[in-house]
Amino acid sequence: MKAFKMNKKIRIYCILGGLLGNKTQSNRFLEALKKIDWIEFDYFFVTPEDYHNYSAPIWLKWSSALEVAYIAHKKFNDKCKDRDFEILLINGYEIAQGVKDIIRQYPTILALDATPILAHELLQKITKDKALCLRSQIAKFFMGHLFRNVFSNVDWFMPCGRWCGDAIAKSYHISPSNMTIIYCPIHLDTFKPSLNNSGRPFTVLFIGNDFLRKGGDLLLRIYKKFLYKENIRLKIVSSDSCLSRDFSELAEGVEILKDLSEKQIINVFQSADLFVLPTIKEYLGNVIAESLSVGVPVITRDVGSLKEMVKDGFNGILMPYNSSEEEWVQKILYLYRNKNVLREYSINARKTAEEMFDFNRFKVDLEQILKKVNPAQNK
């Protein structure tokens, strides 16, 4: 390979998703960019406040993707229309639609954890509303065509997971040679197993602010019906208002934690024996990567890219999508009663994290991609 030389710093502009797990991934991009000495960068997030500050017209609000695209378009024109940059980095496919004209002008890297088609396929899988399902089918066709034009102008893709990468190749005819599969970049020197977990009750952990979508209500039900009878404790980390509104009467043994710092969350992980996430809609869960990094085995639903991280019978248990409450209880109790299996899963969880989630490897991959799309390098 030809040696890479840089006479001046390359200017990158980043437009980043700032909602829930997408914000975590966006922050990892910024951390990695700070460690690359031959670039300089600026950025903005699409935040919850922008839904008010750049409110989309009613006719666009039928689609969350088009609403975000409108917000990104307006905010770009407001914040950086006259900015001077050479490479565009976007996290979130919805944002790409909003700046499609800019993508045509500049080398562009697009990171995404799903595609519009995948998003609507998953919605159709979980909804019982026939009218919503029909509307989603129509939107899937429309969005597929709309985003195909956007994706055709992107220079490099960073899909989160093989599930997403395969969909980009199949649905939008993007060559796998123009993409790098990524997962959830984790600082493994910070998220690491505890050296001493003895002398405390068996603890099941749940973390998720979008409590109902993440399946927290299912976990509370099965704890109240079955698990509280055992020497098991349930810790829930969530700031969702529905907990105080709809779940005010909790079973004994349930602890609710809110507004924790990263250090506190790591401590909570390190005090847990098992992480359970019965999520009904997920693309790629950062929290699962964090749990595996700390050596805490995971039980979760087979949805999105989760099966690429949670390997059934190796570092956790992958539940069929329509598993019953009794089946969830059975698997939790199996690991509770088989400590040797749980210990083996814990060791394998950390191995998985070292192979898939190392932040330093993510930084190297990002730097290589920037070199590939750098216009100065390609002259």
Q: What residues are paired with 179 via a beta bridge?
A: 157
Strands 254-257 and 232-237: parallel
Distance separating alpha carbons of residues 307 and 37, to the nearest angstrom: 36
> How distant, in Å, are the alpha carbons of 16, 133, 170 from that of 144?
22, 16, 11
Question: Which of 8, 33, 22, 12 is closest to 365 using CA atoms?
Answer: 33
Strands 274-277 and 254-257: unpaired
Question: Which of 27, 44, 38 is closest to 359 using CA atoms?
Answer: 27
H/E element, 71: helix 64-79
Write down all domains in the chain, each with its CATH number in brackets: 10-185+358-373 (3.40.50.2000), 202-356 (3.40.50.2000)
2 three-class SS: coil
Whole-number pLDDT of residue 20: 65
Strand order through the sheet with 156-159: 39-46, 10-17, 87-91, 108-112, 156-159
Distance separating alpha carbons of residues 237 and 268, to the nearest angstrom: 9
Q: Tens-of-pLDDT digits for all 379 residues of the chain?
A: 334 455 689 999 999 998 766 888 999 999 999 999 999 999 999 999 999 999 999 988 878 888 999 999 999 999 886 778 999 999 999 999 999 999 999 999 999 998 888 877 777 777 677 776 777 677 677 777 788 889 999 999 999 999 999 999 998 999 999 999 999 999 999 999 987 766 788 999 999 988 999 999 999 999 999 998 898 999 999 988 888 777 767 888 999 999 899 999 999 999 999 999 999 988 888 999 999 999 999 999 999 899 999 999 999 999 999 999 999 999 999 999 999 999 999 999 999 999 999 999 999 999 999 999 987 665 4
How many of the other CB atoms lie within 10 Å of CB of 183? Answer: 25
270 exposed, middle or buried (CB, 10 Å; 0-12, 13-18, 19+)? middle
Contact 309, 260 (CB under 8 A): no
Whole-number pLDDT of residue 44: 94
User: Looking at the whole model, is its pTM more than 0.95?
Assistant: no
Whole-number pLDDT of residue 1: 34
233 three-class SS: strand
Whole-number pLDDT of residue 268: 96
Contact 172, 115 (CB under 8 A): yes
